[in-house]
Structure 1
């Protein structure tokens, strides 16, 4: 076996995550699969790259040597990819996205005003992966969320605009749950529940959620980690767990969505793009298309529509130039 770029990326992600379990989630693979891949990489490298312990993994001296060069190689490849894609073309407009609701809307109702460009959309659960792929030129633009103090590390030569300045977080429970009868649910009342864990672990969400739970007097107990959002909904509807949702998600089929009392959690939804790939006008059109797609989903939940109408300060901004 010879080392490939995907092997170098896996080694870097393990080092950044500090544990195989967390790295596997961010890479979208199972922990056993990542462990097996690491063992193969270590055989090629000639020794262990990480020492394992109860607190996670730490690079060995050999691991530090490999990491230094792996980061250099990946950086050069990102620069090469960005360079060869720096000339705008009339090809598809490539968007990376972490918002499932918004993703479906943009695909189901493609906006004809995007200068005739075909729109291709790829969904991922990792904000870090989105920004890296933007830097590498795999995407022309990304649509993502930030929570709390987390700010995406955008590549040089990119710009960003805020689409929704503060989107409240809703909780999903079975419609047979005793708390489903109220207009809102206090986070403290969910202290004894099992939770479906959030998959996007690097947008600041898990940390904000756990801090909010601590303020409410409990630590959340995670029972499931599901990458299939349909299975997520069915699990919650059956009463097996509760979970967090965007307020634009739809109720039904046994699932009830309620706002959290006091709005302890909120997210900022943003669009970022490479200036070398999108002209100012096209960036404006993409922003407007995303805004129209989001607004088309506000009525998915009547409770959210009422909140939205009362909070114009979080609404998408009118076009004022793509450089803002």
Structure 2
């Protein structure tokens, strides 16, 4: 077996994480699979790279030698990718996303902040798959969400920046729903409803919904899993289900959106990019494009505008020089 970049990345991530379990979660693989990979690397290098201690795992002298060389090689590869893309001016920026509201205006904003840059955009249902594809070089950058305290593991060689650290999820329901006239909804009052299952099942959303409902005294009945927006809205308008929604979502015929009392479920929006493919200035401009795309939707719902104005600490950093 010959050593590959993924082997060097795994060794570095184990050292950084301090344990095989945490490193496996960060890499998006199982612990047994990472252990087997480490054993194969150790056979090639001729000895143990880590020893267990009460603090986790620590590199052996051989491990320290391999780590030093691995970091140097990975750094050189990062530099190679960045410099090559800087020379290849015609290369498109490959952006992967989950279905976020800001995507509707993102391309308009990238035309403004990244003029002349060709951009391809693909949607994925799985945040985990999105992160893995970023690590594998299939995407240069990704835009994704996390719910409550969930953190998406990111691969080695990736940088990330939080765009919106917190936004309050709300409820979309039929305009004919008995609670539609209330300004705020108590989650416990939705105990008998059928719920639209979230399309993304690995961003912490399902766990957050089930956990919040448990605190409210019930188990949600998850019925539909619809990725098509129009069908999603039509089922809600018909009174077939209620659903969690980003507060920036637009109004749709036959439905209303209402905030939840106590804000039990919140979202976070982040950008991540492969540092070997996206120069720092380009990443900064992508951040500003996404920020302006988000800000364009803040007034979609009056309750979110009021919440937004009351929480300046969650506003994105937008430099006047780039406006």
> What is the TM-score when the length of structure 2 is the normalising length?
0.71
Distance in 1 between residues matched to 2:111 and 2:152, nearest whole Å: 27
Instruction: Spell out, residue by residue over 1:213-233, the C-alpha distance to the aligned partner (whole angstroms, 9 max, x if none).
Output: 000000000111112121111
Instruction: Spell out, residue by residue over 1:41-82, the C-alpha distance to the aligned partner (whole angstroms, 9 max, x if none).
Output: xxxxxxxxxxxxxxxxxxxxxxx99xx79xx9xxxxxx9xx9
Give the aligned length. Answer: 247
Q: Secondary structure at the match of 1:130?
A: helix
Contact persistence 2:168–2:265 (CA under 8 A): yes
Q: What do you get for the CA RMSD once the two structures are aligned?
A: 2.5
**Residue 97 of structure 2 is aligned to residue 97 of structure 1:** yes
**Residue 237 of structure 2 is aligned to residue 237 of structure 1:** yes
Distance in 1 between residues matched to 2:165 and 2:180, nearest whole Å: 28
Deviation at 1:99? 3.4
Deviation at 1:85? 6.0
**Residue 158 of structure 2 is aligned to residue 158 of structure 1:** yes
**Residue 213 of structure 2 is aligned to residue 213 of structure 1:** yes
**Residue 318 of structure 2 is aligned to residue 308 of structure 1:** no
Q: Secondary structure at the match of 1:101?
A: coil
Distance 1:212 1:261, change over 3 A: same
Question: In the alignment, what sits opposite 2:194?
Answer: 194
Question: In the alignment, what sits opposite 1:120?
Answer: 120
Question: In the alignment, what sits opposite 2:264?
Answer: 264
Superposition pairs of residues 1-324 of structure 1, within 5 angstroms: 87-88=84-85, 89-90=88-89, 91-318=91-318
Distance in 1 between residues matched to 2:115 and 2:109, nearest whole Å: 15
Deviation at 1:109? 4.9
Contact persistence 2:233–2:252 (CA under 8 A): no
Contact persistence 1:165–1:314 (CA under 8 A): yes
Distance in 2 between residues matched to 1:303 and 1:214, nearest whole Å: 25
Deviation at 1:116? 2.4
Deviation at 1:108? 4.8
Q: Which moved more, 1:90-99 or 1:202-211?
A: 90-99
Which one has the largest radius of gyration? 2
Structure 2, unmatched stretches of 5+, are 1-31, 41-73
Instruction: Spell out, residue by residue over 1:129-157, the C-alpha distance to the aligned partner (whole angstroms, 9 max, x if none).
Output: 11011001111111111123321111111
> What is the TM-score when the length of structure 1 is the normalising length?
0.71
Distance in 2 between residues matched to 1:170 and 1:298, nearest whole Å: 14
Q: Secondary structure at the match of 1:112?
A: helix
Contact persistence 1:115–1:282 (CA under 8 A): no
Distance in 1 between residues matched to 2:240 and 2:317, nearest whole Å: 40
Deviation at 1:102? 1.3
Q: Secondary structure at the match of 1:309?
A: helix
Q: Secondary structure at the match of 1:96?
A: strand
Contact persistence 1:163–1:287 (CA under 8 A): yes
Deviation at 1:252? 2.8
Q: Which moved more, 1:251-260 or 1:108-117?
A: 108-117
Distance 1:154 1:139, change over 3 A: same
Distance in 1 between residues matched to 2:111 and 2:312, nearest whole Å: 24
Q: Which moved more, 1:111-120 or 1:177-186?
A: 111-120
Q: Secondary structure at the match of 1:180?
A: coil
Contact persistence 1:248–1:298 (CA under 8 A): yes
Contact persistence 1:195–1:221 (CA under 8 A): yes
Distance in 2 between residues matched to 1:203 and 1:252, nearest whole Å: 25
Distance in 1 between residues matched to 2:106 and 2:191, nearest whole Å: 36
Distance in 1 between residues matched to 2:285 and 2:107, nearest whole Å: 16
Distance in 1 between residues matched to 2:275 and 2:210, nearest whole Å: 36
Instruction: Spell out, residue by residue over 1:229-261, the C-alpha distance to the aligned partner (whole angstroms, 9 max, x if none).
Output: 211111001101101110111123101111111
